[in-house]
Amino acid sequence: MASDLTILNVMGPYREPQEPAFSYDYSVQRPDWATPQGVRIKVSIEHELDYLKNTILSFSEGSVGQQLRANQLLLRAIADQKLKIVDADARLAERLDIMIGPCEGDTLGHLFGLLDQWMQAEKDTLRQSIKDQIGV
């Protein structure tokens, strides 16, 4: 099913002060909403970013700056995909500002399988993106 959700703006990544995560703030709109909705997507450093970077991609080369830029690219890719997953899960059906935490634990752990499938399917594309944009 195609989504009618439009992303108007994305800001981040922000380091979450009380937990090991980064977050992005999305401003999204549907045609039948009078005003945009705010969505904060949190990406767990250990369970999502490091899992993708170390387990799926086996990426460890590059300078400190290249590693930082690779992390930024991967964080944004994960956050964008999580937005798609929660939209398909009907969590963005109503016009409410919402926060989506890491895909772990009782609350969103069941969505990690979908995120993992995406990571496996997109690993070559993500590797190529890192190579093209960062040079490693």
pLDDT per residue, tens digit, the chain (136 aa), is 567 999 999 999 999 999 999 999 999 999 999 999 999 999 999 999 999 999 999 888 889 999 999 999 999 999 999 999 999 988 888 888 899 999 887 778 888 999 999 999 999 999 999 999 998 8
Distance (Å, rounded) from C-alpha 60 to C-alpha 36?
39
Tally of domains within the chain? 1
| Residue 46 counted as domain residue | yes
- For residue 38, the enclosing domain spans 6-134
Q: Is the dihedral of CA 13, 132, 2, 52 positive or negative?
A: negative
Does residue 81 lie in a domain region? yes
Position 99 in a domain: yes
Please tell me whether the overall predicted TM-score, pTM, comes out greater than 0.85 for this model.
Answer: yes
Answer yes or no: is 17 within a domain: yes
81 phi, psi to nearest 5 deg: -70, -40
In a domain? residue 1: no
Residue 124 within any structural domain of the chain: yes
